[in-house]
Structure 1
Amino acid sequence: MKRLIIALVALSIFACKQEPKVDYAVITGKIENSKAKKAIVKNAEFNAEIAINEDGTFADTLRIPENGFYTMSIGREFTPIHLGFNDILNISLDANKFDETINYTGEGAIENNYLAAKTLSNVKATANEAELYSLGEDDFKSKISEIKTANETLLNGLTNADETFISSEKQNLVYDNYALLNKYEQGHAYFTKQKDFKVSENFIPTELKDMVFDDSKAYKSSSSYKDIAFSKVLTGVFENLGDDISSVTTDDLKDVSDIKIPALKNDVIDYLSSFLVSPSNENMESVYNFFINHSTNEDTKEKLTKTFEKNKNLIKGKPSPQFVNYENHKGGELSLTDLKGKYVYVDVWATWCGPCIREIPSLKEVEKKFHSENIEFVSTSIDQAKDHSKWVSMVKDKDLGGVQLMADNDWSSKFVKDYGIQGIPRFILIDPNGNIVSADAPRPSDPKLVELLEKELKMQP
């Protein structure tokens, strides 16, 4: 008998081990009036693409890490979505009226139709931002309280909804309210044109003022919690960084080290690295290593490394990439080596670039100030060959000074690629020996340019 019992227990254990774990949700659906080729479902720790067929239909099995809140994006539109193990969810919508038409059927539909109704309600209630944020403090609080009450009514009216979903969403509605309160000061200042507007002392609830951002679950479940956390952390970081990011050190980034939520830390690093892992920062390498050591997101690390490898040869003192035989508006051709012995301030621009053209008056002023100094101002157009005559005319019509060149192959010019230029205007300062002073120098409209040039040219203040 004892042996039989042992055998039955062993068989039971074996059977349990063989039972497959359900870790997926099935999503099917059809989208009308869309040319999108894929839908993206993601949260802080998950990212999946679902192929959309030519007729707008789609179907996939997603191995999700947990029951919870995700975001589904189709083209430029997105919507919150809740997925659970064993969900078999069918979605229908018209891309021309995305929020108004999205509808769910099947297992998981109750929770998701609520989220769709909530999203549409919120969009309508906050559509007129100028009107909303121009309200006085009391009226604004009253308005967003109405929004919260309407959503609570929707939530409380659900039957047979997942209890964990209900509990999480009740807290999410609190975060939604906090997020609107958090945006009020900036929004009111902007729409009422009161640049120095500050909310009254008691406007922000104590709970929001004292909120500690250490809830990884809330960061995934609530876009509002995520927005507040990201905003609060960045505010603290920028207070440490100050206005000058040309010499940011790892000590200035101590607040990043203290972030408790891994996904939040990854998002902050991803954002900050876009401009701090830059040749304009003299401490680029140590900052890069700091970000690599603190990030747990492999995609972010890969992007960081690519950026660093591209920029590491563009720091101050490195030999500058060369441009060779660029067409000179005054006739002939010019290479960077022809200007050796002088500082060279390069303005990379194009005739179609509004921000570039807005810098022209300031550039003329800087040229005038330094006209007798050992510096050459070189404006390099990256217009396409078909716009050559437009470049010729604009240089003449706007009476552009300095040396006016046209790159040999617009965005694909070797000089442009070697400097990693992805947006213009871009300004570069090179010393008389052909070495980089700044691969991302201040704009002519920035007073820091005059300070930099006076320092390099050793001019008396």
Structure 2
Amino acid sequence: MKKILFSAVIASAIISCQKEQKVDYTLIQGKIDNATAKEVVIKGNDFSKAIALKEDGTFADTLRVNSGYYSLAEGRESTTIYLEPGYNINVTLDTKEFDETITYTGNGAENSNFLASKFLIEEKEAIAPQELYKLEEEAFKAKIQEDKDKIAKSLGEAQNLDEDFVALETKNINYDYLSKLATYTNAHRYLTKNNDFVPSEGFEAELAELDFNNEADYNNFAGYQNLVKSHYNEKIATLDSTTTIADVLTSIEAKSIKNDLAQMLSYRISPSNENSEELYLAIMDASSNEEFKQKLEKKYTTIQKLAKGNPSPSFDGYENYKGGTTSLEDLKGKYVYVDVWATWCGPCKREIPFLKEVEKEYHGKDIEFVSISVDKAADKEKWKQMVADKELKGVQLFADKDWSSDFVKNYAITGIPRFILIDPDGNIISADAPRPSNPKLKETLNTLL
């Protein structure tokens, strides 16, 4: 009898131990035909892992991830997958037809297979955004409702999906619909060149009760992220005299939303923004991202040195298209208008006709027009070719270390085109001068020349 009782106790203990052993990882493996990269990359919220591809295109790894949506990328192509601890998923695809050939098998595969089929449905039904948002509101709303219904129907007909996944996807489909709805007014005004357009009463009624402070949904759904960012951008753009940006940031409870909004607002901190100090302090107080705050502190310290009248950061020995090298010191004695640009930059190229016009108008005056390319060294020939093809005038220079050049970093340049105006003594007039397309540039130059 004692032996029987002892055996029962041992068996019970083993069963209890087995019940406590919950799998906390996901297994993923697969094969990529015609691979274009040496690895696949899995990314999600606060998670990123590169998995090496073997010579035959196979890969395998163990992922410690939370339940949710992730991207699987190979080279320049990517797809959305759904992962949970305990899943064991096998992926196969051919990069020559990436989206059409991707297939999942194994435990948990059905959810990702649905996402793959959903993408193909969306691709088939989609019309170009510029055409979608040009539609009159009745036709627009009918189109996005039709698209939403087709995806919802596909979700309802899919077999063997996890209940949690279905709940998430139902939300996801709705947020994508609402995101398009929220985008319509401004996009329609822009594309139809009708700034007076106002949607009919009730057009955006479905947005009225939306909660813009949902941490979980923000981390899960791109559509919801777009809604939240648009909401707070609009709120900040229409602030009245009694509300500050700091008030808006303080009102947000969701950590991820507050951190992302703080990071978005940091781009407004610039030499030309007279409210940079107020904005800087508000962002530093709101953000809990220490790495970001360290970078912002460094940027702000740099910007403080770019006040009008301070000595300009210098560049030395930049390659000159016409031969030899040129330094900022060589240009002392004249005003200098600097254009920081690159051959791949669309907005930069759109300024070229305006810059040529300004150069022509002030030709022979006490000013040098200097264009500095931040193209990579490997693209130097492209730079030379574009200078020749577009018959660019002025002093054409090639930065020594593209974005890592001291001149670029010392002017806190994080986006191009960027224009800078320097006086004959080498001091800053404006670290963020008007673009050639802005009439204020000629107004400024006329007061100087």
Distance 1:432 1:389 in 2: 28
Distance 1:173 1:285 in 2: 41
Cα pair 1:282 1:315 within 8 Å, conserved: no
Q: Quick one: which of 318, 324, 344 aligns to 2:310?
A: 318
Q: Name the counterpart of 2:47.
A: 46
How far is 1:331 from its partner?
10
How far is 1:267 from its partner?
2.4
Structure 2 unaligned segments of length 5 or more: list them: none
**Mapping for residues 124-143 of structure 1, pairs under 5 Å:** 124-143=124-143
How far is 1:439 from its partner?
2.0
Q: Name the counterpart of 2:58.
A: 57
Q: Name the counterpart of 1:376.
A: 367
Cα pair 2:320 2:398 within 8 Å, conserved: no
Q: Quick one: which of 264, 267, 270 aligns to 2:260?
A: 267
The answer to whether residue 36 in structure 2 is matched with residue 35 in structure 1 is yes
Distance 1:239 1:157 in 2: 44
Distance 1:30 1:221 in 2: 27
Q: Which one-letter code corresponds to 2:34 in the other structure?
A: N
The answer to whether residue 24 in structure 2 is matched with residue 23 in structure 1 is yes
Distance 2:321 2:191 in 1: 45
State the Cα deviation string for residues 323-363 of structure 1 (Å, max 9, x = none).
Answer: 45778899998754465565433344678963452232342
Distance 2:276 2:86 in 1: 47
Distance 2:117 2:386 in 1: 53
How far is 1:208 from its partner?
0.9
Q: Name the counterpart of 1:304.
A: 296
Distance 2:28 2:416 in 1: 42
The answer to whether residue 97 in structure 2 is matched with residue 97 in structure 1 is yes
How far is 1:418 from its partner?
4.2
Structure 1 unaligned segments of length 5 or more: list them: 243-249
Distance 2:291 2:234 in 1: 25
Cα pair 2:36 2:74 within 8 Å, conserved: no
RMSD across aligned positions (CA): 4.3
Q: 1:183 to 1:276 in 2, by over 3 A?
A: closer
SS of alignment partner, residue 238 of structure 2? helix
Q: 1:108 to 1:344 in 2, by over 3 A?
A: same
Q: Which one-letter code corresponds to 1:149 in the other structure?
A: D
More deviation, 97-106/445-454 = 445-454
Distance 2:324 2:173 in 1: 67
Q: Which one-letter code corresponds to 1:87 in the other structure?
A: Y
The answer to whether residue 438 in structure 2 is matched with residue 446 in structure 1 is yes
More deviation, 104-113/418-427 = 418-427
Q: 1:304 to 1:52 in 2, by over 3 A?
A: farther
Distance 1:330 1:93 in 2: 50
TM-score (normalizing by structure 1): 0.77
More deviation, 328-337/145-154 = 328-337
Distance 1:192 1:181 in 2: 17
Q: Name the counterpart of 2:270.
A: 278
Cα pair 1:380 1:406 within 8 Å, conserved: yes
Q: Name the counterpart of 1:247.
A: none
Q: Name the counterpart of 2:123.
A: 123
The answer to whether residue 75 in structure 2 is matched with residue 80 in structure 1 is no
Cα pair 1:148 1:173 within 8 Å, conserved: yes
Q: Name the counterpart of 1:217.
A: 216
Cα pair 1:100 1:120 within 8 Å, conserved: yes
**Mapping for residues 24-423 of structure 1, pairs under 5 Å:** 24-64=25-65, 66-189=66-189, 192=192, 194=194, 196-204=196-204, 206-240=205-239, 251-252=244-245, 254-273=247-266, 275-284=267-276, 287-301=279-293, 303-305=295-297, 307-308=299-300, 311-324=303-316, 336-337=328-329, 343-348=335-340, 354-355=349-350, 357-364=352-359, 367=362, 371=365, 376-382=367-373, 400=393, 404=395, 406=397, 409=400, 411=402, 415-416=407-408, 418-419=410-411, 421=413
SS of alignment partner, residue 280 of structure 1? coil
Cα pair 1:213 1:260 within 8 Å, conserved: no
Cα pair 1:280 1:439 within 8 Å, conserved: yes
More deviation, 338-347/117-126 = 338-347
Cα pair 2:178 2:206 within 8 Å, conserved: no
Q: Which one-letter code corresponds to 2:78 in the other structure?
A: F
Distance 2:275 2:37 in 1: 42
How far is 1:420 from its partner?
5.1
Distance 1:167 1:387 in 2: 50
Distance 1:388 1:193 in 2: 34
How far is 1:453 from its partner?
4.8
Query: How many correspondences in the alignment?
Result: 434
Cα pair 2:179 2:226 within 8 Å, conserved: yes
Q: 1:441 to 1:191 in 2, by over 3 A?
A: closer
State the Cα deviation string for residues 119-177 of structure 1 (Å, max 9, x = none).
Answer: 22122211444554444333333332222222222222244432222222222222222
Cα pair 2:41 2:49 within 8 Å, conserved: yes
Distance 2:352 2:258 in 1: 38
SS of alignment partner, residue 314 of structure 1? coil
Distance 1:329 1:111 in 2: 56
How far is 1:213 from its partner?
0.7
The percent of aligned pairs where both chains have the same amino acid is: 43
SS of alignment partner, residue 104 of structure 1? strand
Distance 1:94 1:277 in 2: 45
Distance 2:278 2:40 in 1: 38
Distance 1:27 1:215 in 2: 30
Q: Which one-letter code corresponds to 1:25 in the other structure?
A: T
Distance 1:129 1:333 in 2: 46
